């Protein structure tokens, strides 16, 4: 019976599915210049709404509760911070609706179809990456012809983005002949957390069987040279060994731990993406530093510092600050930023939203899956969110949240 349910979830990708998943990917990645356009966001919102109306889809009450809570948080933030940019607020509401609309249209098989769609992209991106390893100069020479989708800093840095692959120019880091692999995401760390999610999904879906798909995903993850990605993979490995319940798996667990410790120490001493980064974090501490690009400048802190600052702010503003940067943070640290999605989630949504998301991840169980997927996902996902920006991560955050909480019809394996 369980396998029958899984097979129902693994429906064929239609043209509409591919189109919707492509839109979801564009927002998730955020590299294409037009994704930042208000006209594009409004156009996508109206198009998806029209599809839902045409299909006579029913909206979940929980979805409107989420919008009401978000509105209430921003009203309180307006009273405390004395500002509420109405256009920014409306834009945030539209961006919250887009992943929900896509979920409603695709239905219970959303994450199965997302996995299949992304796996094809992993294959394509891996081919591009191998080509870049073999002929890096030639790939760099293609930049003027393939950079039409990027803008701003990406354009100036010599990056190019063609949806299926992102090439880093000025800030590409090489380890021997191997550059960091960004795949189809905006940078290697972002690609790593998507790959970790896919590995967890594939393992749990197929009863923890290792196959060539898992091998490809792991090899792609290794090529990212991502600190958070490696930590996530380690957690997945430990969970996998425990989950197998076999005597052999439990016997090799101590050796896996010893190998990890040895490898981690060796990698820490030789790889700058570990040793230099962590040393810099320790040296910088809570210091606020200025970052510049052309005539632009902004204040930055480390991911760890941003986590501490958001936690400190949450004790003063437990209800969250919505779209505003907390006046408490501005007065004490300035208008700071850092790529830490968990910190931003806590700052924007307060403890209510943060705890609701933790519960949603814990309960997260795609159609046809045995129980336990959410707990398996929790730690690797949070490690990745800790080191990636919220503006792009929020689309998968909302997809998981809506699937777990809002789309209750999914529990009955129905299309909402």
- What tens digit of pLDDT does each residue of 18-63 get? 999 999 999 999 889 999 899 999 999 999 999 999 998 888 888 9
Task: Give the pLDDT of residue 344.
Answer: 93
Residues with Cβ within 8 Å of 239's Cβ and at least 6 positions away in sequence, in order, are: 376
The two three-digit tokens of residue 1, written as one number: 């019976």
Give, for 175, the enclosing helix (H) or strand (E).
strand 174-175
Is the per-residue pLDDT at 272 higher than 70?
A: no
How far is the CA of 205 from the CAs of 115, 240, 408, 412, in angstroms? 11, 13, 20, 18
Which of 255-264, 265-274, 393-402 shows the lowest per-residue confidence on average (mean pLDDT)?
265-274
Most confident by average pLDDT, 119-123, 244-248, 331-335, 407-411: 119-123
**Alpha-carbon torsion 116, 121, 127, 130, what sign?**
negative
254 vs 128, higher pLDDT: 128
Mean pLDDT of the chain: 83
Task: Give the pLDDT of residue 295.
Answer: 61
Is the per-residue pLDDT at 355 higher than 60?
A: yes
Is the per-residue pLDDT at 298 higher than 60?
A: yes
- What tens digit of pLDDT does each residue of 236-265 get? 888 887 777 655 656 666 666 666 666 655
Place of tokens 């902004």: 298
Is the per-residue pLDDT at 276 higher than 60?
A: no
pTM higher than the cut 0.75: yes
138 vs 172, higher pLDDT: 138
Residue 119: is it exposed, middle or buried by C-beta count within 10 angstroms (0-12/13-18/19+)?
middle
260 vs 172, higher pLDDT: 172
Task: Give the pLDDT of residue 275.
Answer: 53
Residue 279 CB: number of other CB atoms within 10 A?
12
The separation between CA 366 and the C-alpha centre of its own chain, rounded to angstroms, equals 17
């Amino acid at each position: 019976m369980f396998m029958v349910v899984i097979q129902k979830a693994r429906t064929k990708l239609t043209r509409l599915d591919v189109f919707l998943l492509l839109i979801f990917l564009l927002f998730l990645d955020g590299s294409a210049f037009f994704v930042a356009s208000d006209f594009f966001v409004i156009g996508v919102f109206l198009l998806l709404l029209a599809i839902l109306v045409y299909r006579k889809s029913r909206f979940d009450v929980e979805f409107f509760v989420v919008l009401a809570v978000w509105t209430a948080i921003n009203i309180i933030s307006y009273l405390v911070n004395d500002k509420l940019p109405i256009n920014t607020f409306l834009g945030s509401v539209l961006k919250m609706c887009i992943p929900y609309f896509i979920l409603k249209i695709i239905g219970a098989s959303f994450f199965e179809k997302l996995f299949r769609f992304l796996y094809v992209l992993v294959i394509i991106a891996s081919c591009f990456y191998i080509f870049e390893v073999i002929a890096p100069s030639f790939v760099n020479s293609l930049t003027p012809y393939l950079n039409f989708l990027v803008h701003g800093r990406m354009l100036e840095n010599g990056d190019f983005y063609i949806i299926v692959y992102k090439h880093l120019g000025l800030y590409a880091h090489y380890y021997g002949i191997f550059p960091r692999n960004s795949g189809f995401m905006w940078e290697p760390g972002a690609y790593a957390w998507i790959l970790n999610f896919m590995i967890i999904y594939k393992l749990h879906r197929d009863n923890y069987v290792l196959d060539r798909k898992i091998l490809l995903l792991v090899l792609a993850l290794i090529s990212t040279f991502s600190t958070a990605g490696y930590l996530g993979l380690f957690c997945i490995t430990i969970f996998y060994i425990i989950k197998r319940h076999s005597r052999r798996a439990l016997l090799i667990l101590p050796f896996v731990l010893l190998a990890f410790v040895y490898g981690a120490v060796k990698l820490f001493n030789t790889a700058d993406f570990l040793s230099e980064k962590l040393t810099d974090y320790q040296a910088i501490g809570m210091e606020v530093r200025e970052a510049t690009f052309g005539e632009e400048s902004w204040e930055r802190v480390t991911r760890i510092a941003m986590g501490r600052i958001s936690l400190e702010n949450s004790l003063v503003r437990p209800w969250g600050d919505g779209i505003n940067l907390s006046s408490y943070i501005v007065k004490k640290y300035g208008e700071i930023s850092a790529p830490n999605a968990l910190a931003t989630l806590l700052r924007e949504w307060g403890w209510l939203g943060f705890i609701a998301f933790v519960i949603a991840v814990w309960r997260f169980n795609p159609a046809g899956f045995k129980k336990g997927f959410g707990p398996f996902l929790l730690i690797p996902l949070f490690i990745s969110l800790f080191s990636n920006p919220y503006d792009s991560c929020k689309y998968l955050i909302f997809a998981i949240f809506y699937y777990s909480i809002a789309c209750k019809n999914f529990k009955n394996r129905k299309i909402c």
